Amino acid sequence: MREIPGDHGLPLIGPIKDRLDFFYNQGRDLFFQSRARKYNSTVFRANMPPGPFITSNPKVIVLLDAKSFPVLFDVTKVEKRDVFTGTFMPSTQLTGGYRILSYLDPSEPRHDQLKRLIFFLLQSRSSHVIPEFHSSYTTLFQTLEKELAYKGKASFGDANDQAAFNFLTRALFGTNPSDTSLGSDGPSIIQKWLLFQIGPIMVLGLPKFLEDPTLHTFRIPAFLIKKDYRRLYDFFYHASGSVLDEAVRFGIPKEEACHNLIFATCFNSFGGMKIFFPSMLKWIASAGVKLHALLAEEVREAVNSNDGKVTMAAMEKMPLMKSVVYEAFRIAPPVPLQYGKAKRNLVIESHDNAFLVKEGEMLFGFQPFATKDPKIFERAEEFVPDRFVGEGEKLLKHVLWSNGPETENPTLGNKQCAGKDFVVLFSRLLVVELFLRYDSFDVEVGNSPLGGASVTFTSLHKASF
């Protein structure tokens, strides 16, 4: 048993110092590494941004190893009410005045109803996912090829935003945005709306003396996005008629259901694809042409022996492709910060010590350190494409991107990602579509505001066999 090391510093000064260290002076990884080294512990106290004046209480207990981290999944031990974005919660004015599913604890009756609705949506539209992904991402690759031919390079980000939004709205709601008054404005509206919500924990790359006192210190007033959000609302309200009827049967008013569908599609899904797709491409590109050749062979063989069709069954016959997707989730989990408040006094164990946590204290896990824990994974810092092939599948219980082990499933009673299977499916589809079309590719990599990657293609080599 050990006392939790670390402290929160002086009021105001401590939280601001930690925020500057986190965003600018040290950066995310070094912020945690340096403190873990100083305290000789993977569990310690610190402040998490944004802090003053957005958060009233930025104090957290940081968890950085694979043993202590999973306490955050145990909803008998932690409360997940209003902690989706961390120690602050964006204004509900950004979501029609409602607390959305992601912010609800499973003990709240609405959690059950709303999660049921998302399960219903995904289930009822499942047959549309593979064809709509093919259609949207074929357009994306055609766009990139043209740009590459014209300029010598092609940025993935903007094309991915359009492709992801078109895919999601066509697959989940059967509506093509360009056939409506929303046109191609969806992605840019969503990005602004996301900035209003998670600006306090983003780095845009402006000078820090400008960015920190504005973006991280005060909220952007919600009314500034009201008109744009209304356009999204009208689009989704019209697109989701039958889902809204189902919502009423579950006991959820249509308006509240619609705000939840917007959030699930635009924040959870679009936001996830925006972070994860470039990240996965970055890692696959970095593994080089030898991996690309193996993937191309595996993917094409499985599809050819399935009458040329991409199906779930065909993808099951692609063990390397599946492992590559899991490895990308392990090495860079797209939602890296997880929070939960201790429901009662608890003992938390790291590999080396046990710690007493008091009721009401905020626990915070930095997931990339839990999924790169060297006590669990060999060569933990390396992208090992076939890590989860064969015997390696046993390690999948330590892949945690969905707010739970990869070997477990979302339920009405837990807080695991409602879209887990859908996410694994569309991520696999990206790799499959890529290697059906190309033998290999090269990218340049830059930084992006949420700590992910920004990817620019410098070559796309068309399939030669």
**Residue 422 makes contact with ligand HEM by CB under 6 A:** yes
**Residue 80 makes contact with ligand HEM by CB under 6 A:** yes
**Residue 402 makes contact with ligand HEM by CB under 6 A:** yes
Please state the closest distance from residue 15 (CB atom) to ligand HEM, in A.
Answer: 21
Structure tokens at 302: 């499985």
Which amino acid makes up residue 254?
Answer: K
Structure tokens at 244: 């809204």
Q: Which residues pair with 459 in a beta bridge?
A: 442
User: What's the CA gap between 105 and 237, in Å, rounded?
Assistant: 26
User: What's the CA gap between 424 and 328, in Å, rounded?
Assistant: 11
First to last CA, the chain: 61
Segment interacting with ligand HEM (CB under 6 A) among 32-40, 87-95, 244-252, 262-270: 262-270
Candidate list 31, 44, 69, 84; residue touching ligand HEM; CB under 6 A: 84
x/- binding map, residues 112-131, to ligand HEM, per CB under 6 A? ---x--x-------------
**Residue 269 makes contact with ligand HEM by CB under 6 A:** yes
For ligand HEM, the closer of residues 318 and 430 by Cβ is: 430
Burial status of residue 197 (CB atoms within 10 A of its CB: 0-12, 13-18, 19 or more): buried
User: What's the CA gap between 429 and 129, in Å, rounded?
Assistant: 10
For ligand HEM, the closer of residues 6 and 272 by Cβ is: 272
For ligand HEM, the closer of residues 276 and 440 by Cβ is: 276
Candidate list 137, 141, 196, 276; residue touching ligand HEM; CB under 6 A: 276
**Residue 159 makes contact with ligand HEM by CB under 6 A:** no
For ligand HEM, the closer of residues 80 and 428 by Cβ is: 80
The tokens 């046990």 sit on which residue?
Answer: 354
The tokens 């949420």 sit on which residue?
Answer: 450
Q: At what angle do helices 156-173 and 186-198 cross, to 10 degrees?
A: 100
User: What are residue 88's phi and psi, to 5 degrees?
Assistant: -135, 160
Please state the closest distance from residue 106 (CB atom) to ligand HEM, in A.
Answer: 7
Task: Give me the residues that bind ligand HEM (CB under 6 A), please.
Answer: 80, 84, 101-102, 104, 111, 115, 118, 264, 268-269, 272, 276, 334-335, 338, 401-403, 415, 417-419, 422-423
